[in-house]
Homo-oligomer: A and B are copies of this chain.
């Protein structure tokens, strides 16, 4: 279970505390505030706080005294223009803060985004919980044959069963040994009064990368879009993509016009190189361009044909 009962109560307490504010406020996101969106088997994403809305982007782009918005259609046009032409700085004027529970190997990819602020649960200071990511059966994929960085078919039968039991047993054993080295049980009682217990900062190194950790993670809207463009992408590893998907939900509730522009101009968009554009122009002029006379490498030709739906 991603959240314990005691934690759920703390969350509900927060949701009882309405206040009045003069700030830009987004009712659709207020509805989601503090609530965990479940991800993977035991993880979650919760929106903890936010600053600004679609209009705040417009306001900053215009450096205006009031809200900066005119007609909704004008604001939408400006937001789409900014997105299309990569005028990114006005999108930095909104901010969002998440609380995330995620496996350590996912956290290791995630932390590579350096423009965010992070506070992580400290395993030097505290003891980690016995919670490990175990993939669902439909995510137990074989190594891809043609992509060294991807997945192939789903494993079946004995092989799948064997993998699951290894993951479960090794996690359980390593955690039991972690507790033995710490000399503490689940309730924090000393196991053996004749032992001192290994320092937490050392004992944790026995834990597998599938263990769950938690952090507060905050970034601005521009950098969130950059994160999502990489992590909501089909090339991202499934286990981080599902977090990006949950954050996309929050994005749509928070800044619907920006989210729409983002999906049109970034997520679903494609990049044509100088050579690729040349090929498209020749094809539009009626020429039957081939890989050979395209001026592109074999690999780039294949990528272009994929994009154009011609492969």
Residue ranges of A at the interface with B (Cβ–Cβ < 8 Å): 3, 7, 10-11, 13-15, 17-25, 30, 33-34, 48-52, 56, 59-61, 63-67, 77, 80-81, 84, 89-90, 92-93, 95, 97, 99, 103-105, 107-108, 111-112, 114-115, 117-122, 124-126, 133, 135, 139-144, 148-153, 155, 159, 162-163, 166-167, 170-171, 173-174, 177, 180-182, 195-202, 204-210, 214-216, 218, 220, 237, 263-265, 267-277, 280-281, 283-284, 297, 299-300, 303, 307-310
Contact = CB atoms under 8 A, between A and B. Distances in A.
Contact of A204 (B63, B135, B209, B269): B209
B271 A155 contact: no
Contact of A206 (B170, B181, B308): B170
A33 B23 contact: yes
B170 A149 contact: no
A49 B49 contact: no
Given A163-B181, A207-B209, A208-B207, A119 B273 contact: no
A52 B218 CA distance: 11
Contacts of A84: 271, 273, 300, 303
Contacts of A111: 108, 111-112
Nearest to A64: B10
B269 A272 contact: yes
Summarize A's interface: helix, strand, loop or mixed.
Answer: mixed
Nearest to A10: B66
A215 B199 CA distance: 27
A274 B283 contact: no
20 contacts: A10-B66, A14-B22, A23-B50, A60-B119, A77-B299, A84-B303, A95-B95, A112-B118, A139-B202, A142-B198, A143-B198, A143-B200, A155-B196, A174-B174, A208-B209, A218-B220, A268-B274, A269-B272, A269-B274, A284-B284
A209 B148 CA distance: 23
A119 B142 contact: no
Nearest to A36: B65
Contacts of A309: 281
A59 B97 CA distance: 12
* 5 residue pairs, one from A and one from B, having the closest CB atoms: A268-B274, A10-B66, A142-B196, A92-B117, A51-B51
B63 A120 contact: yes
Nearest to A158: B195
Given A152-B196, A196-B143, A220 B117 contact: yes
B269 A199 contact: no
